[in-house]
Structure 1
């Protein structure tokens, strides 16, 4: 039984989710203590509990400690089974994080899986659906893991109610690691504003301010069509499409923050990325490590990628990955960016 301290590094839910994913992929049982000790409300919240229950369902795992606010969990996986599944966070908690927990195991299972997920699809502190669709999924396909995503309903905090479907093909025989150190030429750049159940002036002001700061034309500024009963909510997304990678940056509106302030922060994030040599932004750099490490291990071939920033979140994730897989992850400076190198240990 592998023992993991959930307070290590940034001490958040990513430690739990990566441990669950890698446990199912490797068959290695683990005991996680001091769960989310680095957070104001430690222990398992509803979305974390949904991650545990989803992992248990697809792998037939034996679990001890799967209850709200639990700060200790013991997880012994069985055999991961491809099939049709449905998981509901039953709150505005992120269902995209639930999906990322079970995605690696299902992509290594024999056969195709169809997963229906309900909850928050566009949440602060979690990857929005559009990030998974435009940034993450294309890299998984390039890695040799087929996946299709379809958004049926947006879900914002605090109402939730979002829904999407994922179809995942088995990829244990087709995974192949690759280097991603150059983003390539810029092919397209545009913004989407999601603002259901809010005055239309909010979307207009956000897009106008962003367009002015980025020097974009009106056709690059999209007031996305969402149903009024999918809110209230507000997310401003900036998408930068390059030859080898697409990055999606998101800024969420909230009470007391002006539309102009939302657009200004998003513009700053995109400008920072544009000024760096790194291929991947900070969030993609974190989340790309796990599937790439699985491919490096399975094929016994090294791979690398460059990124604009190495967050505490990413460094904690690297530690968990190296607990489960005989893969070495090291980093080194690369101009004004960083390079992450993964090699079979």
Structure 2
């Protein structure tokens, strides 16, 4: 049994190293040994959402696991056969449902039958993709690649209270499709949404006023959504942009120590930088396309920014799969290419 050894402090040193390696361990049937998990973080080791990802992965492939406790900086994971089925996982707070889901989906997609997953915890966490982002930007691209999952949001869960509830149905991938996203194409739609839960009136309207001024978007594309059935309070501004070949989404989170106008300006700044470039894919979506494209064996995309997350994820993927991942500057963007290694 040949182990793959992962230093959890390498590169950006975050939880994504753990999640990507767990997904690939299950898919490739390769045992993996982690050391120095999140060693550079303020709170090193496994936090609740990381531990839930480990235990969820263990459940769907009947893995042998050592070190799966809160705060652990070392972990061994020996996967068994992946089993489709009905699964439910409760993160017990505001830990990200989406990050746990993205750990499981690649493995469940290669099963021969459908699966159903219920996740409770955080749906809108500043340190993770939102449920809206998955529904709007990531899952439609996965569907083009042949990987279908239907995600329903039953209850919002904002950080730090949590209490969210999502449901996901997956279908088996019969064949991974190669996808090349070098250009986003012509714009086809725009929308700004403010999600407000248990906050004073006027916050959303102030954020949308900044969007109108900064982005020059018309009133009919600006919406405030008031959420009555939510634990705690929350404020998220979503800027959604549709193009011929994909959709992109930018979000910013409100907090007690941040002025409403600052929140809106953050989102607008990121959106305007993306629109000013010729890249197809924004910096956050780029990171989340690498693993599925590597499973397809070939693909490419252009992105506006190369983050440490992107480079670290590329390094982890190449430890498991026989692919080469190249990241090259091209004019005002970067082009990422994935192809199978030649024997």
1:228: how far off? 4.7
User: Among residues 28, 34, 37, which one is paired with 1:35 in the alignment?
Assistant: 37
| Residue 342 of structure 1 pairs with residue 343 of structure 2 | no
TM-superposed deviation, 1:188: 0.6
Which whole-Å CA distance do the structure 2 matches of 1:36 and 1:226 have between them?
34
Cα distance, 1:229 vs structure 2: 3.2
Counterpart of 2:321 (choices 310, 318, 325) is 325
Counterpart-to-counterpart distance in 1, 2:114 and 2:207: 41
Q: TM-score, normalised by structure 1?
A: 0.97
CA distance in 1, matches of 2:309, 2:230: 34
* Residue 244 (structure 1) aligns with: 245
8 Å contact kept, 2:155–2:230: no
- Residue 45 of structure 1 pairs with residue 51 of structure 2: no
Q: Which runs of 5 or more structure 1 residues have no equivalent in the other structure? A: 297-301
Preserved contact between residue 210 and residue 267 of structure 1 (Cα < 8 Å): yes
| Residue 240 (structure 1) shift | 0.6
Q: Say whether residues 1:263 and 2:256 are aligned partners.
A: no
C-alpha contact 1:197 1:228 (8 A) present in aligned 2: no
Aligned to 2:155: 153
Could you say what secondary structure the match of 2:140 adopts? Answer: helix
1:175-204 Cα shifts (integer Å, max 9, x gaps):
111211110111111111011100121111
Aligned to 2:289: 288
- Counterpart of 2:273 in structure 1 is 272
- Aligned 8 A contact 1:192 1:237 in 2: yes
1:195 is paired with a residue whose SS is: strand
Helix, strand or coil at the partner of 1:240: strand
Secondary structure of the structure 1 residue equivalent to 2:52: helix
Unpaired runs of at least 5, structure 2: none
Structure-2 residue corresponding to 1:119: 121
Q: Counterpart in 2 of 1:131?
A: 133
Q: Hey, what's the Cα distance between the residues in 2 that align with 1:119 and 1:293?
A: 29
Secondary structure of 2:181's match?
coil
Secondary structure at the residue paired with 2:59? helix
Deviation at 1:231, TM superposition (A): 3.4
Change (3 A) 1:156 1:20: same
2:164 corresponds, among 162, 165, 169, to: 162
Q: Is the Cα–Cα contact under 8 Å of residues 157 and 230 in structure 2 kept in the other structure?
A: no
Asked if 1:316 corresponds to 2:312, the answer is yes
Give the secondary-structure state (helix, strand or coil) at the position aligned to 2:166. Answer: strand
Name the counterpart of 1:299: none
Q: Which runs of 4+ in 1 moved over 3 A?
A: 228-231
Which whole-Å deviations, capped at 9, do the CAs of 1:69-117 have from their partners, x for residues lacking one?
A: 0000000000111111011110111111000000100011110001011
What SS class does the counterpart of residue 288 from structure 1 fall into?
helix
Provide the rounded CA distance (Å) in 1 between the counterparts of 2:19 and 2:244: 30
